[in-house]
Amino acid sequence: MSLVDAQIPVLKDQALWSSRDNSSLFLYGGRRASNISLDEKVWKYGVQEGKWKVQETSAVPVRYDGGVDVDVPELQSAYWLGGYQDSSTTTAITDSRRVYATRLVEFNTTTGEIAEFEAPVTPVQDGALVYIPVGEKGLLVFLGGETPSMINGTNATMAVNSWNYVQVYDIASGSWYNQSTSGSVASRTQFCATVQHDPASASYQIYVLGGADYHSQDVVTDVDYLSIPSFKWYNAAGLSEGRMTLSCQAYGRQIFGVGGRLAWADDSDAGCYTMPAFIYDAQSEVVRSAFDPGLMTYSLSSATAADIKASPYPSSWASPALKNLFVSQTNTTSATASPSPTSSSGGGSQSHAGAIAGGVVGGVIGLALLLALGYIFLRRRHRAVPQTEESLPVATGSWEKAELPTSGHTVSEVSGEAAASELESEQPMTRHELAGGNEPVYELDAQGTGQR
């Protein structure tokens, strides 16, 4: 152990993010813990050197408190949403005002650069922000939290956000979606959230642990999880004791809960827990007395798995674009055993699949047309010649073929004289079916966007 340099700010409620190779830690946000001068810089800790230094950025960072964040090492990015500035976060504010954030902050953990993006869900405080590896770069899901009655002012009243919807941010497109949810869940604040993945159902579960009721200020033991892409809430067995303002991190199917308070108070009335951390087994839904490194694989209960299988998607989507992220992802993943593409190639894989499939379909149709025209020509030329075993037969049977996965869209077959629209691609394509022989004709599987 070594003493921390006195110039390093002493903070509360800050975010701590790691670089992709875990060689560096970055300290962002938070409020001062005592009456000391406060800078708004990002601080970097070199793990090998064991030293702190200021991370230089081209944009001036803004220190917020009361926001939510998530670290995504595989993208070399970390994100901060919501929160506010006041006299405990910046020397620029000397009164009791709070100025709420209105943008999403992205921090590159390799270059150390900061960027900000539009966030229609703001202003907001508390709640939770998690990462789901779906789509080209993945999705951020924000749930819970409270919305202030004013962006800049004093004594703002807070409105508790409904848990009947979540906010979904597609990182690749920069689009936000307000997606409705179903199921029963207790509203709360100052909880923690983490994600589990069930490969069998190709679903993700956002686990919400602890917290407190915003109005009654009662600390809760509840554990619930939101299954995605069904966007349905399920209830799990609770914690052995309630905690609020805690942090949690998943390792395999075990969720580590750290810190927090036992009561809604900032002094000794907040209580003192027996252990500063606990382990919640997301699969067996029990609090474990010891960590088991062998419990890595997570799976849903049979009842939840059956319910998801019966209703894998919500009754309505916030946008067709959001639906396509999940439906095409699920279908193409289950339809092919080939390795998932890298993130750099994921954006164009769906349109390439449509082009490949369209080419195959066009080739089959072209061949059928040539055969039909050739047959008509020969039949007219040799009308007087009796048909032999070697003559080309007239196709009277149905054309049996393997259908190409269509990303969840219904395909309606019609006769060869009518146009049948089957595959979605970036450029609409019309194809015409012709009756064929009894021989099966196979179409090429499309390679969809893989999960990272």
CATH of the domain at 95: 2.120.10.80
Residue 75 lies in a domain: yes
Q: What is the DSSP letter of 75?
A: G
pLDDT value at residue 37: 61
Residue 160 lies in a domain: yes
Write the CB contacts of 63 (distance below 8 Å, at least 6 apart in sequence).
28, 29, 30, 31, 38, 40, 85, 89, 90
pLDDT band at 36 (very low <50, low <70, confident <90, very high): low
**What confidence tens digit (pLDDT) does each residue in 179-238 have?**
999 999 999 999 999 999 999 999 999 999 999 999 999 999 999 999 999 999 999 999
Q: Are residues 420 and 382 in the same domain?
A: yes
Tokens matching residue 194: 């983490």
Q: Is the dihedral of CA 108, 146, 316, 132 positive or negative?
A: positive
pLDDT value at residue 5: 73
Return mean pLDDT, the chain.
79
pLDDT value at residue 298: 98
pLDDT value at residue 1: 62
Q: What is the DSSP letter of 30?
A: -
Q: Are residues 282 and 420 in the same domain?
A: no
Distance of CA 311 to the CA centre of its chain: 19
Q: Which of 276, 302, 335 is the last residue of a domain?
A: 335
Beta-sheet pairing, 431-432 with 419-420: antiparallel
Instruction: Give the residue, 12 or 204, on which the prediction is more confident.
Output: 204
pLDDT at 133 exceeding the cut of 80:
yes
Range of the domain at 322: 11-335
pLDDT band at 267 (very low <50, low <70, confident <90, very high): confident
Q: Are residues 174 and 236 in the same domain?
A: yes
Residue 447 lies in a domain: no
Q: Are residues 71 and 19 in the same domain?
A: yes
Q: Are residues 286 and 165 in the same domain?
A: yes
- The Cα-based distances of 45 to 55, 69, 172, 292, 361 in angstroms read 9, 19, 29, 30, 57
Residue 340 lies in a domain: no
Q: What is the pTM assigned to this prediction?
A: 0.72
Residue 82 lies in a domain: yes
Alpha-carbon Rg of the chain, whole angstroms?
28
Q: Are residues 276 and 403 in the same domain?
A: no
pLDDT value at residue 345: 32
What is the number of helices (H) and of strands (E) in the chain?
4, 31
Q: Are residues 61 and 199 in the same domain?
A: yes
pLDDT at 389 exceeding the cut of 60:
no
Percentage of the residues of the chain whose pLDDT score is greater than 70: 71
pLDDT value at residue 9: 79
Q: Are residues 232 and 379 in the same domain?
A: no
Residue 342 lies in a domain: no
pLDDT value at residue 35: 56
pLDDT value at residue 8: 80
pLDDT at 372 exceeding the cut of 50:
no
pLDDT value at residue 437: 47
Q: Which of 335, 367, 392 is the last residue of a domain?
A: 335
Segment 295-321 shows an average pLDDT of: 97
Q: Which of 285, 313, 335 is the last residue of a domain?
A: 335
d(CA 251, CA 51): 28
Write the CB contacts of 275 (distance below 8 Å, at least 6 apart in sequence).
none
pLDDT at 332 exceeding the cut of 60:
no
pLDDT value at residue 366: 44
pLDDT at 390 exceeding the cut of 50:
no
pLDDT at 46 exceeding the cut of 90:
yes
> With contact defined as beta carbons under 8 Å apart, do 84 and 30 qualify?
no
Instruction: Give the residue, 333 or 139, on which the prediction is more confident.
Output: 139
What share of residues in the chain are helix, strand, coil (percent, to 5)? 15, 30, 55
Residue 450 lies in a domain: no
**What confidence tens digit (pLDDT) does each residue in 425-436 have?**
444 444 444 444
pLDDT value at residue 336: 33
Percentage of the residues of the chain whose pLDDT score is greater than 90: 64
**Which of 39, 32, 68 lies closest to 54 in space, CA to CA?**
39
Residue 351 is inside which H or E element, if any? helix 349-381
pLDDT value at residue 207: 99
How deeply is 14 buried, as exposed, middle or buried, from its count of CB atoms within 10 A (0-12, 13-18, 19+)? middle
Q: What is the DSSP letter of 254?
A: E
DSSP 3-state assignment of 213? coil
pLDDT value at residue 272: 82
Q: Are residues 308 and 359 in the same domain?
A: no
pLDDT value at residue 349: 36
Number of folded domains that form the chain: 2
**Which of 292, 290, 246, 299 lies closest to 271 in space, CA to CA?**
246
Residue 62 lies in a domain: yes
pLDDT band at 329 (very low <50, low <70, confident <90, very high): low
How deeply is 305 buried, as exposed, middle or buried, from its count of CB atoms within 10 A (0-12, 13-18, 19+)? middle
Q: Are residues 36 and 127 in the same domain?
A: yes
Segment 135-142 shows an average pLDDT of: 98
Q: Are residues 306 and 417 in the same domain?
A: no
The backbone torsions φ and ψ at residue 95, rounded to the nearest 5 degrees and listed phi first, read -110, -160
Q: Are residues 405 and 266 in the same domain?
A: no
pLDDT at 400 exceeding the cut of 70:
no
